[in-house]
Amino acid sequence: MKNLKKISFLLVLMTFVISCATMKKDNTVTGKVESIENGKDGYTAKINTDKNEVYFAVISIVNVGGPQNYKRFKEGDEVSLKGEIWKTDTEKHITVKEIVSVK
């Protein structure tokens, strides 16, 4: 009985550790809006950071949590965005979950 409790505890602990390790962390991208391409329920903004990295930020009403959190950028805006970063062979993208600031 004691061994069964120990094994059960270890399984629960291992499951918790694995699930925490695989959670995706939201990252922040800050830079200047270079261009905007309109889409179906939002738009994609090309962001150039201070380190000359280019990110394609996908901004949609659904991903930012509704129309109250949605903002429309203009070329030249300085923005700070939080979201999930993903890469293709040649490009970096961020699916925006939060618009932190727009200047």
Instruction: Please report whether residue 3 resides in a domain.
Output: no
Confirm whether pTM is higher than 0.85: no
Q: Is position 53 within any domain?
A: yes
Q: Number of structural domains, the chain?
A: 1
Residue numbers of the domain that contains 94:
27-102
What are the pLDDT digits (tens) for 45-64? 999 999 999 999 999 999 99
Ranges of the chain whose pLDDT falls below 70? 1-2, 4-25
DSSP string, 18-85: HHHHTSPPPEEEEEEEEEEEE-SSEEEEEEEETTS-EEEEEEETTTTTSTTT-----TT-EEEEEEEE
Q: Could you tell me the sign of the dihedral formed by the alpha carbons of 42, 68, 32, 28, in that order?
A: negative
What is the predicted pLDDT for the residue at 76?
98
Residue 22 lies in a domain: no
What local confidence, expressed as pLDDT, does residue 79 receive? 98
Domain CATH for 39: 2.40.50.140
Residue 41 lies in a domain: yes
Residue 56 included in any domain = yes
